[in-house]
Each structure stands twice: as structure tokens, then as C-alpha cells.
Structure 1
Amino acid sequence: MKPSRVALGRWTATLWLALPLALLPCASTAGAPATDAAPQQGGAVQITRAELLSVPGTGYSAPPRRIEDAGLPREGWQTVDLPRTAARELVPTPAGSVRTVTDWYRIDLSGLAPPARQPLLLYLPRWKTLGRIAVYGDGVLLYQSQGSAVHNGYNHPLLLPLNAAANTPSPASVLIRVDRLPSSGSGFSTVWVGGEGSLSWRYLLRQLLQVQLPFMGSAAFLAVGAFAFAVWLGKRRESLYLLFFAISAMAFLRMLHYFVSGDYLLVSDEWFEWITVASLLWLIILIHLFLQRLHQQPSRWLTRLSVGLALACSMATLPHVSRAIPSLYLFTPLLNLAVLPVTVLIFAVNLRKALRAKFPEGRLVAGWAVLALAFTSYDGLLQNNLVSPESVYTSPYAIISLFFIFSYIMFQRYTGAFAEVARLNKGLAQRLQAREAELEQSYQRLRVIENEQMLGAERRRLMQDMHDGLGSSLISAIRSVEQGAMSGTEISGVLKGCMDDLKLAIDSMESVDADLLLLLATLRFRLAPRIESAGVALRWEVQPVPALSWLDPGGALHILRIMQECVANVLRHTRATIIRFSTATDGHGVCVVIEDNGAGFAVEEALRRSGRGLRNQQRRALAIGGTVRWESGSGGTRFTLWLPLHHGEGADSKTMSAA
């Protein structure tokens, strides 16, 4: 991968890592404290003080339709500053007879001028507790939360109209009823009152920061995780893709409680809270396994310890299984606090090994780990009402940052794999090219050696043939001349025969392209004058025959010598007047037939006397995989040379015989 692309990827991951820090000032601007009922830009008023009345109860109850039905006392109201928090108990105490507390917040709006030609809106950035909320205007119920009292949309800001329509009187006072558990504590932000133009952007910004961005980030994480799972199905050895998918699924389950409310739950509060807690435990373990897979230095003891603790905690907190924890959502802060040291240990061990192994993205993961621990600690304070409830939960942004960092790492691995394949292919191509060059050199050397061997063999063949044929004839002629045993005519005949031998030897060196007819035509051209000068008529009845794939100069010379010997025997011994050449084709070869009308001879006796000419014909035919056969009688002699179409085909079935 190019360095510029790597730098761009790291810069993008770092930007998303720092995104939560950049968004926190926006959240603070959306709900920053101001003076008591002080007008803001656009006519919005931020209420920073209210009257509070806390009434003990015996359980959750539906809000009355009118305030008169609640029977609230006139005395006992206390002025409190907003935002207001009540600390949450880490270890819930027995409730006794008081099972719930109802907080009534009374806000006086009589001194506010309603916005012109538009409804008056009430904006509540956050209320958080285990309970429900209801809003009254001039003693009449205007709004009440629905569904679960535990997952009640605590992370959703509230924006509602106080008067039904424009140009209608706005209420002089607002009462907000919060029905909650005593041990759960509570957080109640400042209240904003104003027109739509001055409050809608604040509401939309907080809705974006608290709900929509976490939802979009977790959904994108899960979608990319599903793609990674599909990749893993095709590459089972790459466990990183499976771990990435598992992390995305656990992160989605963990972040559900930030953007869902009780109206949309498909499971009970107990099971939903168990999923929220268990998903955090297994998310930490999956991140641990993912980091181990990256730096290739496993810590088996740490893996066993963390998996054992996660299993024990998951089993102990199963709804309707353990009676030691009757209400898991009351003990969630304590469980989160207990998980924190294990998380710090896991991250510390993995970061140390990643830096030791010089893991390229180790610093990026280290920065995320520090930021994630800081964000988780801050969210723990916010969950336990130890900081202003107008703050934003930052853990979702830590998980979104994890998504971008891990996606960047997976992208690096994915593109790195392609780059490695390209590098290997390039190296393989270079090695293949070098090997081809070596093979080409070897082939050229072999061709040179083969040509030298072929030339040597051809030279030896010609030398042997000229020695046995032309040389022998010349030596015999010389001895006869020296002894005076031959006449001039006989010497001329011998010399003509030697000349024919020389011409045939030269003709055999010409390329005939496996064409037997061309070879026979050459034989006719060389021997026809000699045959006609002997007073013998030549009948040429040669028909087209298939090509002989094995025919080379050596084989051609053998065929020419066999034919030459046969013609010489006819002219020398039979006193024939006609000689006929013909060809035919059988199943596996071709036949060349020479017939004459001269006096026949006893073939078996001639072979038994070891006639050199006949034996040479047999030897040459055997050398090229063929056979010879003589059929002789009073009416003449028929000589047949059988030649195979391909070497090794049908030669064994033919025998050299005589009749």
C-alpha cells in the first residue's frame, strides 16, 4: 500500500477517535446553565430554579388527570437549583414500606410573555431515573411517559407544547411529576421554555448527539461486521473477520439501551438489562481476542481468567435464575465498577505486547484504550448522578471510534493481503521468467547437442552405406580390372551402378516430408534410364497412400536401397522384359510391390544359401519396422515391401516369408 494512503487512513481513524471530544462542547452549549429564568437568544428562557416536593409511595402509580386529584399539600415545598441530582446507591438498601418516591417540580411561568403566533414549548434535555415522568400545565395533564419504568427513554430529550395552538393562553405554572425508586437516585436537568424556532435546534442537536449518532454508528458497525462475516465464510482461516463480526454484534447489543425506550422493547426489562450487562462483558473479551490475534502474542492465563469471570457473571445474573440479585438494573453500577479493573488489566497486557511486537497500529489502539477508559469512567459518574445530568454519555462514541479503528485495521489487513498476493505474483512471474530463460538455454544446448548427434549419426550412416555399397562395388571393380577379368562394358555397368548408389544416397538426404510417393518418384527418376537401357519396359502403377509419420533421411535411404537391390536383381538375373511398380494400403501400413515377368527362383534355397542381397533387404526392412516378402514362380517374381504407418504399429504381425 502506498504511504500516502496509509497516512490518510491513520488520520481518518484519529479524527474519529477525537470526535467525542469535539462533540462535548456542542452538548454543553445545548444545555449550558444561565441565570434564573433569563431570556436567551431567540426568546428561549432557561429555568434554573424550581420548587420541589418529594412524596413517599408504595409503588408506581399512574399520574392523575388533574393536580387536584393528587392531593398535594401546600406546605413542604423546597426551592432547589437546576440541574438537580440525587446520588444512586451502589448497594441498594432494603426499601421497607417506602418502595417509591414521587418528586414534584413546580415551575412558575406567570412572568413570561408567550411567543407571538406560535405555541409555547417546553424542552427538557434529560431526566434520568428508574421511573416515569408526567407534565402538567395549570393543573391539567399534558404528557406522560409510556412503557417500561426502567428503560424509559432516559437518553431521549423531551420537547412538548404547553398550549394546544398559537394565540391560546400558555399555562402560568408547570408541574413535572417523576415517579422513581428511592435507591435509583435521579437526575433532572434545567428546563427550557420558548418558541419552536429557539428550542427546536437545541432539541435536534441533543437528539443527534444522544440517540441518532449512537444508533447510526452501531448500525454501520453491524453492517460492516455482517460483510466481514460473509468474507469469513469464504476464508475460514481468517478468524479476524469472524471476531470483527462478533465484536460488531456485541457492540450493537450493548448500545441498544442508549436509543430505545420501553415502548419498543420485545423482551422484559430483566432480560434486556441482562443483555446490556452481558454484552459489555463479552465485548471486552472479544476485543481482547481480536488484539491477541493482531499482535500474535496470546496470554492464555488472561483469556481463561476473563472468560471464566464472564461466564460466572453471565450465569449469576440470568433473570429468574439467581435470587441473590433480585433486580439486576439496581446492581448494574456495581457490576460495571467491578468489571473496570479487569478491563484495565486486559487492555494493559495487550497494549504492552502490541508495543513490544511493534504492532503498526499499536499506538492508535493504545490511544483508543486510554480514551475508552476515560469515557467509561465518566459515564459511570453520569450513571450514578455524580455529574450534571445535562452531560452526554460518551461510551457510544468510544465504541464508534473502535469501529473506525478496527475497520481501518481490517482495511489495512485486507489491502495488505492483496498487496502481498501481488508481490508474490510478481516474484513468481520473475522466477518463472528466469526459469523459462534457463529452460530456453537448456533447450538450445540440447538442440545443439541433438543436431551434433544427428549429424554425427547421419555421417556415420552415410559412411557405412558408402563403405558397404559404393565402396564395395568400386573395390570389386578395381580388382577385376587389375586381374583383367572384366570387359569394358562390364566395368561401365559397375561404374553406372556406383553412380546410382551415390545419387540415391544424395537423394535420401533431401526432405520428403513423410511422403512415400515422392520418394518413389525420386527412385523412378534415378533408375528409369538404366531400366530402359536394359531393354526392360517400366510400368508405373503407383496409387496415393497415407504419409509415413516416421519417414526420415535414414529410413528413406533404407527404402531406396531395398528398391534398388530389387531392381538390380531383376535386371541381373531374371531376363525379364517388363517390371511393374505398384502401391496398396492395408489396415496398419502400406505395401510397395515390384513385379517382373522373368524367370523365377527358389526363394527358400536362395535365403538358405545366405544370399547377401536378400539378407540386406531383410535387414534394412527390419531396421525401419517393415517386412519383405518374395513370391516367385515360372511366370515371374513378386516382391512386396510392407511399411507401417507409425512405428510399432502392426510390425509384429508381419513376418519375412517366402513362397
Structure 2
Amino acid sequence: MTLFLAAMGTFHAPLHVLGNEQLKQSAYFLTQADVSYTQNTGAKPLNMAANPQRLQLPLPDSWDQSKPDFEGHAWYNIRVNLDPHRPLPNALFIPRLVMNAHVYINGHWVGGEGAMHGELARNWNRPFLFQFSPSLLNAGENLIQVQVAGYNNYRSGLGRMWLAESTLLEPLHKSAYRWQITGSMLATLVAFGSGLLILVFSRAFPAERGLVYLGLAVMVFAIRNTGYFLDWAPLPHALWAQTVHSLHAWFACLYCQFLIRYMRLEWRAMRTALWAYALVVSLLTFGAGSETILQFTFALLLPVLPLVLCLNLMLLVYAWKQEDCEGMLLGFTSLLFVLLSIRDLSIMIGMLPNESVLLSQYTGILLFICGAWIIFGRFRDMMGQLTQSNEFLNSELAQREQQLFRQFNLLRKVEQQRAKDDERRRIMQDIHDGVGSSLVSALNLSEVRTLQPEEMRDVLQDCLDDLRMAIDSLDPQSDDLLALLGNFRWRYERRLKTSGITLHWQVQDIPKLEGYTSRDLFDLLRIVQEVFANALKHAKASTIELKVTWSEERNVVLLSICDNGVGMPKNPLNQGRGLAHMKIRAKAILVDLYWQSGLEGKGVGVYLTIPKVRQREAAPQ
């Protein structure tokens, strides 16, 4: 298939200079001219037609053959005898000229393209159609002159032409323009886009870094193809010509590097040799000068063509064995490019008519298809792998979620059971410390002597208060200090009145305490209860004052309980265990506790400093 397409491109590519049957019957096909060469930019048309040194030449004419090493102007004089039986012509179609040209009819200027001196426009691949007024023509012989400006050793010259009515030549000119300019521009833009796309893809996916060689090769190919349609160059002519022709070597180097990497060949020496080849060709090309650029570059490119052809054949065999459609398409495209490049090279060195349409640039479209196919295939494979990975991860995640859910339920049950056990132990400890302690004290006292009714009542009342506080601690809403204190006042105030003690209750609104559990507030209430119990049993007080205030500066709640009783005993051994229990509870909930006697040892004041936010470290005592 590749050889068939290459043969079609060679033998059936459009050759617009041959025209069509209608042109052959109605138009004049200009194939002979006498030529005068000059470097005089101010020469007159009719003077050049009478120049005795002019040469009779067939068209197409290339200065490389008819006037080697010449650079300047060539005046092509074509004499045409009009046939009265044919339509009167009014247009001249020139499929190929290199570089710029002006046209004269019987000494009258009718049109031109590009400057005729200095830096010339690059019109070497552009077809021209010059229209003129039929009144410029004579009834008999007419002189058509084409002044061509060109560079030496750059295929400068003139091809065969058609003289006819514009209506007959315009379709031919449009077709030639599409093939030689528009098509080349489209193929180059497509190649540039595909190269850029491949480079971006190779950059985004590190595993596909081998594609960077293909992307760079396609980009070099696109830059080289800009000369097919641009009539200007970003660099001076000589430097631009050297750059373009050195790009041929770099394209071959990069593309071979890609093929070697694609087929996973361990050709390190060959890869190094390719880099050295591209570098040497570039140095020699820039050092040779523009005068011999074509012949010199062609000679240097010939050695690498067999390698490229060999690698393409190896790629086709590799793709066939691997059943790789991507490799088959890539090998087909690159082999077609090589064959068409050889064809175009043959045109440039004169082995084929230089009026033929160049076709190697059109493989840029196939390169785009290959690049898109490769990227699509790689992306599809990556998405497949990603899908499989996601499915595997989702399966693993679901299993781990089930395991975590089971472990969480187990831990939750353990925590619930632990909380229940802790609550049971706390209740048992409270009953033991409160009710149990009171009953044991009463039992010990009863073994010594008979208890009086008042003593028995006090013991039972203490036990009852302890049970009530234990029950209150089970309330889930028992996290409000003022509410707990109010409940305590309601339960204790009757006992105080019975004992003849007046209670002064001074409580301010305070903010809600943060971080304290119900157990913490219960311990705080136990301290308050212990203070009131000591006042009832030992202080012989007539008044007790409880005060709660909020210190915004210190961010603490201040709770104080003062009585006017007999004060603290002077012997520490007689202080009992009540104060020790109060210290333990205060330390457990991280609040400050201290006490002091009144004036002359009368009365006792117990003071609690409660931070709004529960502390994490032990508070100083």
C-alpha cells in the first residue's frame, strides 16, 4: 500500500503545467525562449530582447544547468504569433519560477511579484497568474518577456507557461495554488499542532517520555515546511537556507531516535552516532556557505536515508509480529514520507521535472493522525489501568471500611461497658465514702455506748443526704453549677434551720463552665457538703455565708463558704479526715482550695477558685 501511494504521488501527482484538453485547443503553450543574463537592475525590456548574447533555451530552464554560479537577472524572451482562429488571450499563467519575476508584453509592464534586487522574496513554490489588456497584443508577432531575479545555485529559473483567456487559466491557477500553497500551509499547521500535542502529552506523562523525540521531529518537520508557502524568511536568505537544510539532518536524527526507542532496541552506539551526525551536518552546512548549500546538503543527507528506510522496514516487521496497529500506521506513514522525500529530492536535483508538485510536506497530515492515534491509544491504556486501579482501591477500601466499622462497633461496645463499669464503681465509691462511712462511724459509736435519738437522726440524715447526692449525680443535665448549688440549698436549708443556723446565700450569674463533667461538678458539690457538714457538727456556728461571684479579669468563678463558729482546732491531729478528702477532690478536678480562720481564731473561711475552662494540668494548691 505504501509503495502504491508513493508511486501514485510520483506518476499521478498534479502537473499543472501540462494544462488540459481545452487549453491545448484554445491556448498557447510556451516552451521555448531566448535568454539574456545580466546583473544590471536597470536594463530596458526591449534592449534585452535585442541583446546579441542571448541564448536559445527550452523551458523549463534552471540556472544551475544553463548558467551555473550565476546570480542576478535573466530576461526570457518568448515570441508568439497569434492565431486568428483562437480566442484572444488576456492572461499568462506561470506554474513555477524561482525566485521573483516581472512580466512585459511588447515592452509594456503587466505585473510582477517580489523585489528584483536586495533580499528577494521566496516565491520559488508559488504559481502566478498575470492578467493584462488584450489591446497590448499585436495582430501578428508579439514579444512576451519575463524578467526573473534569483540566487546562484538555488534552482533559480523559469518553467513552461500558458497564454490564454483568463477564464481558462483561473481554474488551473487555483488548483495549483491549492496544491502548492494552501495545502502545504494546512499540512504544516497540522504537523505543528500534532508535534506540540505529542510534546505536551510526553511532558504530562513521564512514562511516555520516549514520545518527546517524535514530537521534536514533527516540530522540526513543520518548521522546515514553512518554506513551501512563506514568501519571507525570519533570517537572511543565506542563513535561513542553511538552517532549513540542516533541519533535514535533525529530523532524521530525532525520528530515528524515536524509532529505536519505540522498538526497544539497545543501539546505544547508533544513537550516539545519530547525534554526532546531526551535529556534524549542521556545522558543515553552516560552514559551506549558501552558494553550494543544495548540492552539499544533498550529499550529506544521502547516507542517512538507507538507515531511515531500514528502521521503517524494521518497524513494520516489529508491528506485524506484535499485532500493533499503532506501529503499522506509524511505519506506513514514515515509509511513505521517506519515499516521497526521495521523490521531492529527485525533483530538486533535476531527475524529475522541476515543475512537479512537491508532496513530502503532505505527510504532516498523516503524522498528525499517527500522533493522535498514539496519544489516544496511550490515554486509553492509561484510563484502563486507572479504572482497574480505582476498582481495586475501591474494593480494598470497602473491605477496610467494613473492618473499621466492625472494630468501631466493638470499641464502642467496650467503651459503653467501660462507662457503665466506671459509673457503677463511682456510685459504689460514693455510697461507700458517704453512707458507708456514716454507718460505720455510727456502728463503732454504738459499740461504745447507746446512741441518743438525736445522734441516730443525724446519722440517718447524713446517709439520706449522701444517697440524694449520689442520685442527683446520675442526672445527665447535672452540668450547671448554680442549679446543683440551688438543689443542694433546698435539701440542706431545713437542717440548718433545725440547728439554728442562718444561711446567707449570695449567688451571682456566672458563665457556663466548660470542660467539666458531671463527675467533676459532683466532686465540687461534695466539697461544699463537707464544709457544711463540718459547720453543723463541729463549728457551733450561728451563721453560714455562701457566696458565688464571677471574676472576668481572671476568667474564674470564686466560691467561698464562711461561718462564725469556733474556728479550726489548733492541733492538726484533731482536724479529722474531712479536710484531706476536700484536698483530694479539689486536686482531682484541678481547682484551687484554701481556708483560713477568722479574727482571734473565730470562724472559718473556705475558698474555691474554679477556672471557667477546665485545666489540663494540676492546679497549684
* Aligned mate of 1:597, from 561, 564, 567: 564
Q: How far 1:461 sits from its partner (Å)?
A: 1.8
Alignment counterpart, residue 83 of structure 2, candidates 111, 114, 120: 111
- The CA distance in 1 between the partners of 2:530 and 2:581, in whole Å, is 9
The range that moved more, 203-212 or 252-261, is 252-261
Which residue number corresponds to residue 582 of structure 2?
617
Out of 513, 517, 527, the residue aligned to residue 562 of structure 1 is: 527
- 5+ residue gaps, structure 2, are none
How far residue 154 of structure 1 moved from its aligned partner, in angstroms, is: 3.3
Distance verdict in 2 for CA 1:125–1:286, change over 3 Å: same
| 1:168/1:354 CA distance change after superposition, 3 Å | same
- Matched letter for residue 70 of structure 1: N
Q: In the alignment, which residue of structure 2 is the partner of 1:584?
A: 549
Provide, for residues 272-307 of structure 1, a one-character-per-residue CA deviation record: whole Å limited to 9, x for no partner. Answer: 321221011112223344556666667432221111
1:301 aligns with 2:285: no
Match of 1:370 among 324, 331, 335: 335
Select 2:417's aligned residue among 429, 445, 452: 452
Deviation of residue 555 (structure 1)? 2.0
Q: State how 1:492-511 maps to structure 2 within 5 Å.
A: 492-511=457-476
Give the distance between the partners of 1:459 and 1:291, measured in 2 at CA.
Answer: 80
- Is the contact between residue 190 and residue 365 of structure 2 (CA under 8 Å) also seen in structure 1? no
Task: Note closer, same or farther for the CA distance 1:300–1:170 as it changes in structure 2 (3 Å cut).
Answer: farther
Greater mean deviation of Cα atoms: 516-525 or 199-208 = 516-525
| Aligned match for 1:468, one of 428, 433, 438 | 433
* 1:278 equivalent in alignment to 2:246: yes
Measure how far apart 1:402 and its partner are: 2.1
- Does structure 2 retain, via aligned residues, the 8 Å contact 1:36–1:46? no
> Which amino acid in structure 2 is aligned with residue 164 of structure 1?
S
* 1:38 aligned residue (24, 33, 40): 24
* Residue in structure 2 matched with residue 153 of structure 1 by the alignment: 123
Q: Note if 1:202 corresponds to 2:172.
A: yes
Structure 1 residues 271 and 629: CA distance shift in structure 2, 3 A: closer
SS in structure 2 at match of 1:257: helix
Cα distance, 1:138–1:532 mapped onto 2, change above 3 Å = same
Match 2:51 to one of 55, 70, 77: 70
Please give the alpha-carbon distance, in whole angstroms, between the structure 2 residues aligned to 1:136 and 1:600: 136
1:544: Cα distance to partner?
2.7
> Which residue pairs with 1:530 in the alignment?
495
Partner residue, 1:653: 620
Distance 1:258 1:629, change over 3 A: closer
Per-residue displacement from partner, 1:162-217 (whole Å, max 9, x unpaired)? x5356965774455669899998899755433222211111011011112221343
Map Cα deviations across residues 346-381 of structure 1 (whole Å, 9 max, x no partner).
Answer: 545666667777766322211111211121122122
TM-score of the superposed pair, with normalisation by structure 2? 0.80
Deviation at 1:235, TM superposition (A): 9.2
Match of 1:11 in 2: none
Task: Indicate how the Cα distance of structure 1 residues 298 and 583 shifts in structure 2: closer, same or farther if over 3 A, else same.
Answer: farther
CA distance in structure 1 between the partners assigned to 2:107 and 2:606 by the alignment: 136
Quickly say closer, same or farther: Cα 1:101–1:635, change in 2 above 3 A. closer
Match of 1:636 in 2: 603
Deviation of 1:506 (Å): 0.9
Tell me the SS of whatever aligns to 2:512.
coil
Q: How does 1:149-298 map to 2 (within 5 A)?
A: 153-161=123-131, 163-165=132-134, 169=138, 172-173=141-142, 191-219=161-189, 221-222=191-192, 246-247=216-217, 249-261=219-231, 264-265=232-233, 267-290=235-258
Aligned-pair CA distance for 1:429:
7.2
Note the 1:56-67 alignment, pairs <5 A: 65-66=45-46
The answer to whether the Cα contact below 8 Å between 2:103 and 2:112 also exists between their aligned partners in 1 is: yes
Q: Deviations over 1:95-114 (max 9, x none)?
A: 79x99998967564422546
| Partner-residue secondary structure (3-state), 1:511 | coil
Counterpart CA distance in 2 for 1:356 and 1:601 is: 105
Q: Is the 8 A contact 1:333 1:383 kept in 2?
A: no
Q: Counterpart of 2:254 in structure 1: which amino acid?
A: L
CA distance in 2: counterparts of 1:181 and 1:563, whole angstroms = 114
1:126 counterpart residue number: 96
Q: Which of residues 313, 324, 328 is equivalent to 2:281?
A: 313
- Distance change >3 Å, CA 170–CA 495, structure 1 → 2: farther
Q: Alignment identity in percent? A: 23
Task: Output the CA distance in 1 between the equivalents of 2:142 and 2:435.
Answer: 140
Distance 1:642 1:185, change over 3 A: closer
Secondary structure in structure 2 of the residue aligned to 1:70: coil
Match of 1:520 in 2: 485
**Contact 2:195-2:219 within 8 A present in 1 as well:** yes
Distance 1:476 1:336 in 2: 116
Bigger shift: residues 499-508 or 440-449: 440-449
What's the CA shift for 1:507? 0.7
Q: Is the 8 A contact 2:80 2:143 kept in 1?
A: yes
CA-CA distance at 1:463 after TM superposition: 1.1
- Select between 457-466 and 403-412 the one with higher mean Cα deviation: 403-412
2:62, 2:617 → 1: CA distance? 109
Going from structure 1 to structure 2, the CA distance change for 1:466 and 1:395 (only over 3 Å counts) comes to same
User: TM-score, length-normalised on structure 1?
Assistant: 0.76
User: How far, CA to CA, are the matches of 1:380 and 1:165 in structure 2?
Assistant: 40
Quick one: structure 1 residues 315 and 484, their matched pair in 2 at CA, closer, same or farther if it must change by over 3 Å?
Answer: same
| 1:582-637 CA distance string (max 9 Å, x none) | 123453643322222232232x52x3346122322222222222343332355422
CA distance 1:230–1:490, change in 2 (3 Å): same
Q: Which amino acid aligns with 1:110?
A: L
CA contact (8 A) 1:54 1:101 kept: no
Would the aligned equivalents of 1:127 and 1:389 in 2 still touch at CA under 8 Å? no
CA distance, structure 1, for counterparts of residue 363 and residue 567 of structure 2:
114
Quick one: structure 1 residues 547 and 422, their matched pair in 2 at CA, closer, same or farther if it must change by over 3 Å? farther
Q: Report how far residue 393 of structure 1 moved.
A: 0.4
In 2: Cα distance, 1:260 partner to 1:286 partner = 25
Deviation at 1:459, TM superposition (A): 1.1
Q: Is the 8 A contact 1:514 1:550 kept in 2?
A: no
Give 1:160 deviation, angstroms: 1.9
Q: Write the letter of the residue equivalent to 1:637.
A: V
Distance 1:95 1:199 in 2: 33
Q: Which deviates further from its counterpart, 563-572 or 395-404?
A: 395-404
Provide the aligned C-alpha RMSD in A. 4.8
Cα distance between partner residues in 1 of 2:321 and 2:107: 67
